[in-house]
Amino acid sequence: MNQSTKTNSTKKESTENDNSQANARTISSILTAPELAEIDHEISHAPTRSAVAIDALKIVQKHHGWVSDESLSGLADYLDMSTAELDGIATFYSLIYRKPVGEKVISLCNSVTCWIKGYAQLEKHISRQLGVGLGETTTDNRYTFLPAPCLGACDRAPVMMVGEETHLDLTPEKINQILEIKGGQQG
Ligand code: FES
C-alpha cells in the first residue's frame, strides 16, 4: 500500500468513526439508554442491524406508546436503513402506531371472516358507545379505536384486541363488558 492509499484509508476510517459517533449522539438524544440497551441486545443476536427492525419498533413503542417521525428517523439511522424503508415496515405492521394513541388500543378485525360474522354491526356499536369513529381516541384518552387485519383467530370470529388481550366470539353485550360500558345501548 503506498502512502497516498494509506492516507485515504485512514481518512475513510476516521470519517466512519466520526459518522458513527455523530449517529450515536443523535440517537442518544432521541431514544433513552434503556431503549437502546434493549435494541442493542436484539442486534447482538441478529445477522444484520436491519433484521431487528420490527423488534426495535416495538421497543420504541413500548417506551413511548407510539413511534414518532423523529424516533423513526433516528432508529432508521441506527439500524443502517433509510427512513422510508423503516416507515414502510412500520406502516405495514398494523400494531405499530405512527400517531399518539390512548391508554389502550381497540383493534377490531375487519378481514373476511370477521366481516361475514358481523364486523359492520360491531364497528357501529363500538363507535356509538364510545363516541369515536375508527382512527379516533376517546376524549378521556382511554381508548383509540382502529381497524385491524386478520388477528389469526378466524374460527372464533368476530375478534378484537384491546391492548395486548384478544377477545373472541364478540357480541355487542360482550363488548360492553370488555370495555366496561355500563347501561350502554345495544346494537
Ligand atoms: S378474519 Fe378476523 S380473526 Fe381472521
154 CB near ligand 1 (under 6 Å):
yes
Domain 3-92 adopts which CATH fold? Arc Repressor Mutant, subunit A (1.10.10)
Name the β-bridge partners of 137.
144
> Which of 95, 109, 122, 167 is the pocket-test mutation for ligand 1 (most atoms within 8 Å of CB)?
109
**Span 113-132, average pLDDT:** 98
Query: Tens digit of pLDDT for each residue in 55-108?
Result: 999 999 999 999 999 999 999 999 999 999 999 999 998 889 999 999 999 999
Amino acid at position 136, single letter = E
- d(Cα 153, Cα 111) in Å, to the nearest integer? 11
- pLDDT score of 23 more than 70: no
Strand pairing report for 104-109 and 143-148? parallel
Q: Do domains 3-92 and 104-178 have the same CATH topology?
A: no
C-alpha cell at 104: 389502550
User: Which residues, in sequence order, are CB contacts of 43 under 8 Å at separation 6+?
Assistant: 49, 52, 79
Contacts 24+ apart (CB under 8 A), 173-176: 175/122, 175/125, 175/126, 175/129, 176/129
54 near 64, Cβ under 8 Å? no
Beta strands in 17-148 (DSSP E): 104-109, 136-137, 143-148
> Which of 150, 166, 169 is the pocket-test mutation for ligand 1 (most atoms within 8 Å of CB)?
150
79 CB near ligand 1 (under 6 Å):
no
- d(Cα 184, Cα 71) in Å, to the nearest integer? 39
Write down the residue that cell numbers 432521541 correspond to.
Answer: 30
**Per-position b or e across 74-85, b if 16+ CB within 10 A of its CB:** bbbbbbebeeee
**Nearest-CA neighbor of 135 among 124, 147, 126?**
147
54 CB near ligand 1 (under 6 Å):
no
- pLDDT score of 21 more than 60: no
- Class for domain 104-178, per CATH? alpha beta
- d(Cα 168, Cα 160) in Å, to the nearest integer? 7
CA distances from 71 to 21, 46, 95 (A): 18, 21, 16
Can you give the residue ranges of every domain in the chain?
A: 3-92, 104-178
161 CB near ligand 1 (under 6 Å):
no
Chain mean pLDDT for the chain: 88
pLDDT of the residue at 57 = 98
